[in-house]
């Protein structure tokens, strides 16, 4: 009878240890899946900055990426002007379908900041490293003053993207006149 009680105690102890081990494995597996998903935009990778925006002079470009848009964290991206690339890293994302929102802003030397374009991308993330790319067709170019010229076009032509009255030559397009 005494031997049987010792065996029962050992069996109960083994079961407790097995339950604890299973619990730890489950917890670490869940945490590992979440933290191992990376949006990799590293040294060799990046989001290509549209050429027309790259060529703007007389100010600076800021690019922001929101990981898990609309509720995610908005990150200022590192810009490599020489390569025309912007880089960031979003960690701690779950391996699921996730939305990313990109905003491109230009800060002219003589005016306040102007938002030029934005883009949204839905990506199925997987465990490990993931890459994000935006095509030219993904971008929506903004027109703050509603004159049918994008903010980018106005900056390229030397007009104020926040003023709907602009004259650049003699041809009329929308509210603005453009031509030679």
Please, are residues 89 and 45 in contact by the beta-carbon 8 Å criterion? no
Considering the chain, what is the average pLDDT of its residues?
79
Please, are residues 139 and 117 in contact by the beta-carbon 8 Å criterion? yes
Higher pLDDT, 92 or 170: 92
Characterize the bridge pairing of strands 176-178 and 167-168: parallel
In this model, does residue 25 exceed pLDDT 70? Answer: no
Q: Kindly list the domain boundaries of the chain, sorted by start residue.
A: 2-35, 38-142, 143-180
pLDDT, tens digit, for every residue of 45-86? 788 899 999 999 999 999 999 998 888 889 999 999 888 899
Instruction: State the residue for tokens 């102007």.
Output: 114
pTM: 0.70
Separation in Å, CA 58 to CA 107, 125, 155, 161, 168:
9, 38, 10, 15, 19
Tell the CATH topology of 38-142. Immunoglobulin-like (2.60.40)
82 Cα distance to chain centroid: 21
């Amino acid at each position: 009878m005494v031997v049987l009680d010792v065996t029962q105690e050992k069996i109960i102890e083994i079961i407790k240890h097995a339950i604890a081990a299973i619990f730890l494995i489950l917890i670490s597996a869940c945490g590992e899946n979440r933290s191992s998903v990376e949006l990799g935009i590293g040294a060799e990778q990046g989001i290509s900055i549209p050429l027309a925006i790259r060529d703007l002079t007389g100010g600076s470009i800021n690019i922001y990426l929101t990981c898990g848009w609309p509720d995610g964290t908005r990150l200022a991206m590192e810009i490599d002007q020489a390569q025309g690339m912007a880089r960031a890293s979003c960690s701690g994302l779950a391996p699921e379908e996730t939305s990313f929102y990109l905003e491109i802003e230009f800060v002219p030397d003589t005016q306040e900041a102007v938002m030029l374009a934005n883009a949204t991308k839905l990506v199925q993330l997987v465990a490990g490293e993931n890459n994000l790319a935006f095509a030219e067709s993904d971008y929506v170019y903004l027109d703050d003053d509603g004159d049918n010229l994008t903010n980018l076009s106005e900056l390229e032509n030397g007009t104020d993207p926040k003023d709907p009255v602009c004259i650049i030559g003699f041809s009329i397009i929308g509210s603005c006149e453009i031509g030679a």
